[in-house]
Chain A
Amino acid sequence: MSQPFILGAVAYDPKVVTIWEGFKEYFAQRGFAFDYVLYSNYEQQVLSHFDGQFHVAWNSPLAWIEAERLADKRGRKASAIAMRDSDRDLTGVIVTRRDGGIATLTDLKGKRVAIGAKDSPQATLIPLELIAMSGLAPGKDFEVISFNIGEGKHGDHIGGEREAAKALMANGADACCILDANRMLFAKEGTLPTAATQIVATTEPFDHCNFTVLDGAPQDRVDRFVQLLLAMSYTDPAVRPLLDMEGLKQWLPGRVSGYAALNRAVDRFRFLDRFLAA
């Protein structure tokens, strides 16, 4: 049996096992030996990637930046080889109550801003960067209320955003930071009614997860992996359940142009200093 091409992924939910078992079978049916290892947090996954524990990482946007910067530091190179269609051009929004007297970002001075997990790009880092760009420093000019659910999983768990939205409605916060799609979802389910709340700011578009490889990865197998991913069709009944579970309709080639806002946030808040120093 040929050596399998190994993926590293974070188990942010029990369904992760089902997802990658499904992919393993999909690849096996096409003669491509594939396996996976799971981590409980992205930091360990990134470090293990550099230790050569696996070939390709399914990285959150923050994990991508961790990998990219660690590669810089160690004289190596990280590349994003594929991503979901749903990973492109996300935006985050800052929502307030209509009766809260907050209409612009600068009105947040002295107020309470609810965020998701501390390491969530969409519900913490990128929106706090947006507020900071308006001249307000988190924790200094406004209070940050963190719903730190699933730290280490980079906001993959929706729980933190939901709690932030609930805090806004319960007057436990004056604003909350959530993903655009969750704004629509929470409005639909009544957690955050449009009639009672408003968007005061929207972040610039940013990209989410990607498959990351490091220099030295076996190129022929990397190419075959990407080729098989891009060939997955949503109209294929055998494939669609896998895509549905992973939240995409189509795999796309990787790109790294959508991580500027997160890079700025990481710089401003010196978010990865400890990780990179270790």
Chain B
Amino acid sequence: MRIDLEHLGLESGGDLLLRRAMRKLASGERLEVAGQHEELDLHLRAWCRTSGHRFDPASDPTRTLRGVITPATHFGKLPTERAGSASLAGVADRPLRHWGLAGRSAEVELGGPAFDFGLIDKMGLWTDDAGRLYARAAAAQWDPNEAIDWSVPIEHDEETEDAIVQVMTYLIENETAALLVPARFLGRIHPHFREVMQLLAIQSADEARHIEVFTRRALLKRAALGLSTVGGQASLKTLLDEPDFALASFLLSVMGEGSFLILLNFLHRYGPDPVTRSVARLAAQDEARHVAFGLAHLREHAASDSSLLARLAVAMQRRHSELAETAGLNERVFEALTVIGAGGFSPQEIGIGFNRVMQLQADMDSARRASLIRLGFSEADAQALSQLHTRNFM
């Protein structure tokens, strides 16, 4: 085969044409190279030497034919393998570490570094639903500046505003935990599980936005946040300290965010101002997706691993023991929720507010029990385990 590079040199793309031509050579065939570039001889000599090809310069007095390339034996024969296939059916049970950052179905050159991903088993991470949940999350992203009218005046009394600031303070630290827990696992998941990786990334982005809007709401009329308690932080620290993805996901997404969702609905319903109601409503939409993912992959995991439910139960019992000596939900948050639920400070209104907070906790318990039953626990077990959930809600 012969190729004419005309005036193109190898410093300007001629090597692309050479490789293209060489890929078309039959076995044993050589490539004659013609061209007019004044330094083409040097280019061919240097390029072939560094690429491992043999180059025989031509003795063509017209300098049209510049030489002949014999491709290196390795040319076009470097071993590769496919990183699974593009379809969901091609998600590997245990993707290889040297597939590294390659997308599913990519042709991966062998000999690359083995990545130190800690989470490489499909079981425990994966759900076929992850792609759909990610797409839903991507489509449901909202801009805090656009989605919330921050200019609406806050007209309620100062004590009610104090209650809102206290609840926002509590929400912020809970959402910070909800950002950090998936983010920590995100860096350890094999990227082969692309949809799960994307979902955890967008989940972290959701939480980043929640932290922003809760902070903005808290500081609308105040210069600083409210009280952060020992009991609250102790409860959240147990989430951050949980090294097992399935257990952390269960405690955070299913039990914690499941309860949180009910709380956000409470704030959406009883919040005294439109901004509070808006931030609660928007955050609740996102949290519902987080709960859905947690439930989906844990259900698949439980279906293929009969020991999972027992481990989840032990995790709840262990966390309950760790937190048994703490004060649980801090009094100020409880009071703030009561004030918000009351809508006023008359004994009758406070009585109503108190009952609404009682109902809130009962609703959280029902939601947790329903989730536990969906995971496969019996009604009796679900009831017992739900009672062990942290009094901090998350």
Q: Taking beta carbons and an 8 Å cutoff, which residues of A are in contact with B?
A: 85-86, 88-91, 93, 179-181, 183-184, 187-188, 194, 198-199, 202, 233-241, 247-250
Contact = CB atoms under 8 A, between A and B. Distances in A.
A247 B49 CA distance: 10
B200 to A, nearest CB: 31
Contacts of A188: 11-12
Contact of A181 (B38, B46, B52, B78): B46
B47 interface: yes
B9 interface: yes
A85 B52 contact: yes
Given A184-B43, A237-B79, A249-B72, A194 B50 contact: no
Q: Which 3 A-B pairs have the closest CB atoms?
A: A249-B52, A237-B111, A237-B110
Nearest to A197: B39
Given A188-B11, A238-B111, A240-B111, A86 B45 contact: no
A180 B52 contact: no
| Interface-central residue, B11, B51, B73, B78, by most chain A CB under 10 Å | B11
Contacts of A235: 73-74, 77-79
A93 B169 CA distance: 70
A202 B42 contact: yes
B9 A183 contact: no
Interface in B62-114: 72-74, 77-79, 109-111
Contacts of A199: 39, 42
A90 B46 CA distance: 7
A181 B110 CA distance: 27
| Interface-central residue, B10, B43, B79, by most chain A CB under 10 Å | B43
A241 B111 contact: yes
A119 B45 CA distance: 24
Given A181-B46, A181-B47, A250-B72, 5 more contacts: A89-B49, A90-B49, A198-B38, A202-B42, A235-B73
Interface string B279-294: 0000000000000000
A240 B42 contact: no
Given A188-B11, A234-B74, A240-B78, A180 B45 contact: yes
Contacts of A234: 52, 72, 74, 78
Contacts of A86: 49-50, 52
Interface in B350-376: none
Interface in B13-47: 38-39, 42-43, 45-47
B245 to A, nearest CB: 31
Nearest to B54: A85
A247 B45 CA distance: 16
A186 to B, nearest CB: 9
A248 B72 CA distance: 12
Nearest to A239: B111
B11 A184 contact: yes
| Interface-central residue, B10, B49, B77, by most chain A CB under 10 Å | B49
A238 B79 CA distance: 11
Contacts of B12: 187-188, 194
